[in-house]
Amino acid sequence: MEEQIIRTEYSEIMQKSYIDYAMSVIVSRALPDVRDGLKPVQRRTLYDMHELGIRYDRPFRKSARIVGDTMGKYHPHGDSSIYGALVVLAQDFKMGIPLVDGHGNFGSIEGDGAAAMRYTEARLQKITQEAFLQDLDKNVVAFQPNFDETEKEPEVLPARIPNLLVNGSEGIAVGMVTSIPPHNLGEVLDAVIAMIHDGSLTDQQLLEYIQGPDFPTGGIVVNKSELAQIYSTGSGKIRVRGKVETEKMKGGKECLVITEIPYTMLGANIGKFLNDVAALVETKKTTDITDISNQSSKEGIRIVIELRRGADPEYIKNLLYKKTRLEDTFGVNMLAVADGRPETLSLRQILEHHIDFQFEVTTKKYQVMLDRELKKKEVQEGLIRACDVIDLIIEILRGSKSQKQVKDCLVYGITDGIKFKSQRSQKQAAKLDFTEAQADAILEMRLYRLIGLEIDALMEEHKKTLANIENYTDILNNYSSMADVIIRELKQFKKEFARPRRTQIMDAEAPVLEEKAPEDIPVVFLMDRFGYARTVDESVYEKNRESADTENRYVIHVSTSQRLGIYTDTGKQHLLKVSDVPLGRYRDKGTPIDNLCNYDSSQEMVINVLPIEKAASCVILSVSSSGMIKRVEGSELQVSKRTVAASGLAEGDSLISFYPVRENSQIVLQSKKGFLLRLPVSEIPFKKKAAVGVRGMKLSEGDTIEACHLLDAQEEEPVNAAKLPSDEPAGTIRAGGRSVVLSRLKIGTRDTKGTKPRG
């Protein structure tokens, strides 16, 4: 056979392949069907359990057996996906009505995983058997071949309850996601019944029956007024809060007890919530929480938050709602497969699809039952007639040579080859006209059926059959009769399986959190030459003043409400809140400054630390290694960004000095080659902080500024400045190999080379 090359556009092939893949994921894996509210893996698992006979009134079977059988027959996508679906179907904290009865460790509300499938056992719940699988033998739904066409599986289960609403659904497909909250079974069935009676009910009217979501974890929905919009469009956001109660403790203390959590907090998010509460204390958002413990058990959720004596429980409650997941958002997107395609549905549309499906299933069910009763009627009528001519039938049986002769005589009146006792009997036999089904029943009839009581029982059974035929015909031909049957079933399900609502629905104000101003405590900021920072109480500092001043590079008196500016040789200002610096004992090592702000010790070096609020009223002197110099108004340092440029620098230049000065102060610039230049601060011009500045000292090739000394350092300074490391006496430096008294230097002018002390 010759090879054929088909030329086509590559983009068209990719588009078609991707669409086919997307639709396969959407319809065959990720999204539930609006009719039974199940995804394919859930439907196949339940059907397989039904086929294995693992009913609610029979012993449990190993989960591994169920998973293996489902994977081998219906769902060839791996055992983990099947077991995962089986586990969720058995978890009462995830499902509104669990469909599987699990025995063993099927996980916990706190996120613990289920035990391996070889250890756990399962069976169907009673509601699953009666409301999802009851009428499969009556051909009420279509069956399709399985993946290898060796078995048949139902396209959809004949669910008698709106499972899509009752248990909700979550799934991620290609380019779309479904997220439907669970609802209360009794309320949903009431809405279905009301809509069967009046098909014109609107979404708003249906909410008179369905109050809103009913999460298995309880909680409180706090945006009731928005539910009408959410249910009419099929999408929106539901705000859910946990339930918090206040309890008295010994010693006059109080504690907050969380007894119900938002549905979104299931699993690992409970642990995250505990960590978030602890973080509130660590970051000093509140000092009123003294302890938190998770006392949850099989009886339910119980998270206890102990409060300091005199604390305001209402404020802490609002803080938890505002700063943690104790109040969370459940995103609603009621997307499901309807008529073979994905569609976002409103509440009314979901119920419409369900009711249409119920009438379809009920029609097929009663048609099958009617056909069975009609066949039974035919047989019963034949047996009743046979009892009237039983002697003739016995004569035919005795005179015939084969069963075919007897059957032909009973059905068609053919008497050829049959020996009769009289001509009259033969004439009577020729008039027989039983149907084939009746003839077969007569041939199989046992002699005890000729007893008088048995004949009476046959007549009574025939009357019941006629009554059933009349009833089934009425149901099939009259909408109201079929509606009554459906409603009667729904009421029975409600009576047996409905339970009280767990989630409270209300309108509540958003939590108002009046931020309490943090207590302004005077402290002393200490930072050593290795970059470890801490704050200590002023009394602690006074007790250790000598060693604190000696061991630390920066010693700054501030308060916890203030901010510090960390200034580096790269010309950057890193903001640091004093309240973020750990307050500890004097001998504590402290925390690396890298961990407290954006400072990176591998890329830059600290040249000074200034209190922003105090420095704002000062004049700041900026000196770079290339000799560029300027004065900057301290108010320019008042910014909210965590990191900004504190001084403009030319390429390759670095900042060596950045501290406050007075108008009458003097400075001494010291170069690497030993040149010194004494300048009045008044000669240095004011510039914007982004400016590079002007040349303060003329440098020879290869020379740089290595220090800038403030002559009035021994006087009271407006702001603490960096301590200049020197072994010389105050006011003396080492330059050119000799000690130099700064105050004896001749005052020079800006942009000159300065003087070099003689050796």
Whole-number Å distance between alpha carbons of 84 and 90: 10
**Taking a C-beta distance cutoff of 8 angstroms, is the pair 241, 326 a contact?**
yes
655 has which bridge partners?
Answer: 624
Whole-number Å distance between alpha carbons of 122 and 97: 16
Whole-number Å distance between alpha carbons of 135 and 154: 12
Tell me, what's the pLDDT at 396? 86
Task: Tell me the HSE value of 563 on the side-chain side, using a 13 A CA sphere.
Answer: 18
Q: Tell me, what amino acid is at 542?
A: E
Tell me, what's the pLDDT at 219? 94
Count other C-beta atoms under 10 Å from residue 585's C-beta.
9
Instruction: Please indicate, yes or no, whether the overall pTM of this predicted structure exceeds 0.95.
Output: no
Residues whose CB falls within 8 Å of the CB of residue 327, separated by 6 or more in sequence, listed in order: 222, 239, 240, 241, 242, 262, 320, 321, 511
* Cα–Cα distance list, 418 to 409, 412, 415, 421, 438 (Å): 9, 14, 6, 10, 20
Closest CA to 614 of 553, 571, 660: 660
Tell me, what's the pLDDT at 54? 95
Question: Catalytic one among 47, 119, 479, 541?
Answer: 119
As a whole number of Å, the CA-based R_g of the chain is 45
What tens digit of pLDDT does each residue of 78-106 get? 899 999 999 999 999 999 999 999 999 99
Residues whose CB falls within 8 Å of the CB of residue 428, separated by 6 or more in sequence, listed in order: 389, 392
Closest CA to 95 of 168, 144, 192: 168
Whole-number Å distance between alpha carbons of 189 and 490: 6
Whole-number Å distance between alpha carbons of 93 and 215: 8
3-class DSSP state for residue 437?
Answer: helix
Quote the strand ranges of 422-581, DSSP E.
504-505, 522-527, 532-537, 554-559, 563-568, 572-577
236 has which bridge partners?
Answer: 332
Catalytic residue check, 83 = no
Tell me, what's the pLDDT at 283? 75
Count other C-beta atoms under 10 Å from residue 220's C-beta.
19
Domain 243-325: state its class.
alpha beta
**Taking a C-beta distance cutoff of 8 angstroms, is the pair 163, 38 a contact?**
yes
Tell me, what's the pLDDT at 468? 92
Where does CATH 3.90.199.10 sit in the chain? 38-158
Closest CA to 294 of 263, 318, 259: 259
**Taking a C-beta distance cutoff of 8 angstroms, is the pair 35, 337 a contact?**
no
Residues whose CB falls within 8 Å of the CB of residue 667, separated by 6 or more in sequence, listed in order: 621, 661, 678, 679, 681, 708, 709, 710, 711
Tell me, what's the pLDDT at 18? 65
CATH superfamily of 38-158: Topoisomerase II, domain 5 (3.90.199.10)
- In the chain (759 residues long), the average pLDDT of successive 10-residue segments reads 74 72 65 92 95 94 96 91 95 94 93 93 96 91 91 94 94 83 96 94 94 94 94 95 91 90 89 89 82 87 91 90 92 91 93 96 94 91 85 86 88 86 86 88 76 78 92 94 95 95 90 66 90 90 89 90 91 90 84 89 90 87 91 88 89 90 87 87 89 89 87 48 45 70 83 80
Tell me, what's the pLDDT at 393? 84
What tens digit of pLDDT does each residue of 134-156 get? 999 888 999 999 988 999 999 99
| Block residue for tokens 């002007």 | 694
Whole-number Å distance between alpha carbons of 338 and 357: 11
Tell me, what's the pLDDT at 751? 86
**Taking a C-beta distance cutoff of 8 angstroms, is the pair 147, 76 a contact?**
yes
Whole-number Å distance between alpha carbons of 48 and 41: 11
Q: Can you read off the two tokens belonging to residue 512? A: 């108002």
Whole-number Å distance between alpha carbons of 356 and 126: 25
Q: Per 3-state DSSP, what percentage of the chain is helix, strand, and coil (rounded to 5)?
A: 40, 25, 40
Where does CATH 3.30.1360.40 sit in the chain? 243-325
Number of helices (H) and strands (E) in the chain: give both, helices first: 21, 34
Tell me, what's the pLDDT at 181? 95
